[in-house]
């Protein structure tokens, strides 16, 4: 499945930038993008998020279940907000904003759980959020190019 690729990409990025910045949650972002834009069984995405989060915790954080819980919280929040959005506003721009917002929320909650040291921690968190913004920008460009062709 495509989500395995995104999880492995996130893991590779974490290896490359470990100790410098927090890696953007590209796996979570892929799941959040898929939630409103594709036809799928919602329960399947929740299970994928759960197992991906557990694997991430086993590989990196050591606090088993934290990332899985945050991923599930983000997916359920995205689903709940998406259902409240009127049909006239359900566009790709709305999806981009929600994905970026939930990426920020998960990063901030993870930051609160693990804590850290002042300035260096802010730089790492800001790097993660800039990476997430880059992913959203690339998704926007890809979607625009796909629509033009």
Q: Give residue-wise pLDDT tens across range 21-60.
A: 888 999 999 999 998 877 777 688 999 999 999 999 998 8
Q: Give residue-wise pLDDT tens across range 46-105.
A: 999 999 999 999 988 778 899 999 999 999 999 999 999 999 999 889 999 999 999 999
Q: How many CA atoms lie within 13 A of 42 on its CB side?
A: 9
Q: What is the pLDDT of residue 78?
A: 94
State mean pLDDT over 101-129.
85
Q: What is the pLDDT of residue 10?
A: 92
Q: What is the pLDDT of residue 69?
A: 95
Rounded to two decimals, the pTM is 0.89
Q: What is the pLDDT of residue 129?
A: 94
What are the residue boundaries of the structural domains of the chain, listed by start? 2-148
Give 117's pLDDT tier (boundaries 50, 70, 90).
low
Q: Tell me the torsion sign for CA atoms 72, 123, 17, 129.
A: positive
Q: What is the pLDDT of residue 146?
A: 81
User: Which of residues 28 and 17 earns the better pLDDT score?
Assistant: 28
Q: Are 48 and 3 in contact (CB under 8 A)?
A: yes
- CA-to-CA distance for 85 and 107, rounded, in angstroms? 24
State mean pLDDT over 119-126.
82
Q: Are 137 and 100 in contact (CB under 8 A)?
A: no
Give 116's pLDDT tier (boundaries 50, 70, 90).
low
């Amino acid at each position: 499945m495509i989500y395995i690729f995104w999880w492995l990409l996130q893991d590779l990025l974490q290896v490359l930038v470990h100790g410098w910045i927090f890696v953007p949650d590209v796996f979570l972002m892929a799941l959040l993008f898929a939630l409103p834009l594709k036809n799928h069984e919602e329960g399947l995405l929740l299970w994928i998020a759960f197992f991906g989060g557990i694997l991430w915790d086993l590989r990196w954080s050591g606090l088993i279940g934290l990332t899985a819980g945050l991923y599930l919280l983000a997916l359920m929040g995205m689903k709940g907000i998406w259902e409240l959005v009127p049909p006239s506003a359900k566009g790709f721009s709305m999806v981009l904003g929600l994905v970026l917002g939930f990426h920020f929320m998960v990063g901030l909650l993870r930051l609160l759980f693990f804590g850290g040291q002042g300035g260096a921690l802010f730089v790492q968190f800001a790097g993660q959020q800039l990476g997430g913004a880059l992913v959203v920008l690339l998704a926007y460009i890809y979607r625009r190019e796909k629509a033009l062709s």
